[in-house]
Structure 1
Amino acid sequence: MNTTSNHDERMANLTFASVYPHYVVKVEKKGRTIAELHQVIQWLTGYDDHALQQHIAEKTTFDMFFQRASVNPNASLITGTICGYRIQDIDNPLTRQVRYLDKLVDELAKGRKLEKIFRH
């Protein structure tokens, strides 16, 4: 699926720090913890708590966030629809990675077990 260049540029320029609080609210509202959120983010990106706090403090864009990440090789197993896009059909690699993260946060908030979220 081709996203527009404007959409891809917006995704690249969004800061992780601006989106992270929304992830926290979403999972906590559904009874999940920040520790579980961090586990999900770490599975996808390889970032530990300290690295996440650095990205938040530095206001890292998603472009830099994912450039520096060690994206899990099983991330391509994340499929489904998020924000009206079929993840597996998104052509732009960065936009696809951001949507992977969105999908994992959604699954966590919906009560999916961590073992299921961590694709093997």
Structure 2
Amino acid sequence: MRVVIKNVFKRKDTIAYPEVRRRPYPRYKGRHILDRHPDGLEKCIGCELCAGVCPADAIYVVGAENSPGQRFSPGERYAHIYQINYLRCIFCGLCVEACPTEALLMTTEFE
């Protein structure tokens, strides 16, 4: 009974989730996004370093060469296929650290 009386008057820690949404912390690691240059070209050069460093083997990248008539990135290569399996991803952020062009970012989205 003493525990109940002690905790009845404390501030409640629970929130009504769907109606009240809590802002994530600034360093929260959520979904990944591939960033682009201001001119619209992809930053990703298809080097596959992110896939190589991923401990969960959740990233699949297939790089392709840019053609002279159609350019997707400023470099020689671009990521033709870029897939992240979120069922395997552990959201560690190693892929973001390994990216040499800073094309891969983690947002604070969690829904």
Shorter chain as denominator, the TM-score bin is under 0.3
The structure where strand makes up a greater share of residues is 2
Q: TM-score, normalised by structure 1?
A: 0.26
Higher relative contact order (CA 8 A, sep 6+): 1
Q: Give the number of the structure whose alpha-carbon radius of gyration is greater.
A: 2
Q: TM-score, normalised by structure 2?
A: 0.27
